[in-house]
Amino acid sequence: MDLSVVIPVFNEEESVRELSDWIEKVCSASGLSFEILFIDDGSTDSSWKTIEELASQKKFIKGIRFRRNYGKAAALHTGFTESSGDVVITMDSDLQDSPDEIPELYRMIKQDGYHLVSGWKKKRYDPFIKRSTSRLYNLTARIASGIKLHDFNCGLKAYRSDVVKGIEVFGEMHRYIPMLAKEAGFMKISEKIVEHRPRKYGVTKYGVDRFVKGYLDLLTIGFITRFGKSPMHLFGLVGTLMFLAGFIMAAYLGINKLVFVNNGLRAPLITDSPYFYIALTVMIIGSLMFLTGFLGELINRTSSERNSYLIKDKVNL
């Protein structure tokens, strides 16, 4: 099969049928064999009923329904697992992503050889606050990841099949799939300017909490990609440096008192100095950081995925 289109759905009953008809029209005109996977993320409206009706009418439409709302990352991960196309394209279900972009995205994966192509909504119809926070978030993500994309969180993306099968999307990590792909060794990442359409039905699911979660997830993915396999390299180093800093401070106080005693002078009590408590606190925190890294290594050693590496090619095996 040429193409799998994975679409998370959450309370978009008005747009599901129109979107599926549009995708069918575009893919059929391009001569692509395709499937559409609707992942109902715990919708409370009639979205699932519509998906069931479509699936009964057209065999290329498949549906999966969650018992409750788990989030976009869970929906994408499930869609990736069930997809069977050589190229996987994701898009939002609110009709703000245009299916007319599908043929060119498919071509960029199959002919240009990219592993991942991310959409860039250069002209957006979102509220001002969403556009502003998105620019700040994307700037931070570019700096942190080194990936030169303008729109990390664009729902319209195309992937080679082995990319989506080789990464695990969880929590709120759908925003950072390009970073996960790069960490897994898929380095050919590009972007394409895509059309962003005004919302036709329903209301936006965007809230301020998504902005906060985005930055927290950026810290998480940054840690996982750099130190997920070796947490001691971070916690052990920081812990050791903090312990040494505290020890030096404590040693200075001790040596200072010995100098006083050696010269027959009345030495001040070490515990009267605030530096003593600062040194003690820094040493304790350093020890805890080191133990955290040690425990992280023990947990990592017993993990079933400690030696999970993606193999690109084999020969004579």
Q: Is there a single domain that holds both residue 49 and residue 193?
A: yes
Distance between CA atoms of residues 206 and 53, nearest Å? 29
Q: Is there a single domain that holds both residue 236 and residue 216?
A: no
- Give the pTM: 0.74
Domain count, the chain: 2
Q: Is there a single domain that holds both residue 15 and residue 162?
A: yes
Q: Is there a single domain that holds both residue 168 and residue 285?
A: no
What is the domain extent for residue 102? 3-227
Q: Is there a single domain that holds both residue 182 and residue 212?
A: yes
Task: Look at residue 309 and tell me if it is in a domain.
Answer: no
Task: Look at residue 102 and tell me if it is in a domain.
Answer: yes
Task: Look at residue 168 and tell me if it is in a domain.
Answer: yes
What token pair was written down for 157? Answer: 């993306």
Which CATH number is 49's domain given?
3.90.550.10
- pLDDT band per the 50, 70, 90 thresholds, residue 312: very low
Task: Look at residue 308 and tell me if it is in a domain.
Answer: no
- How far is Cα of residue 68 from the mean position of the Cα atoms in its chain? 21
Task: Look at residue 260 and tell me if it is in a domain.
Answer: yes
> Is the pLDDT confidence value at 309 over 50?
no
Q: Is there a single domain that holds both residue 137 and residue 193?
A: yes
pLDDT tens for 76-121 read 999 999 999 999 999 999 888 999 999 999 999 999 999 999 999 8
Q: Is there a single domain that holds both residue 128 and residue 92?
A: yes
- pLDDT band per the 50, 70, 90 thresholds, residue 35: very high
Q: Is there a single domain that holds both residue 166 and residue 251?
A: no
**The pLDDT value given to residue 315:** 44
Sheet-wide strand order for 116-120: 61-65, 34-40, 3-9, 87-90, 157-160, 116-120, 189-193
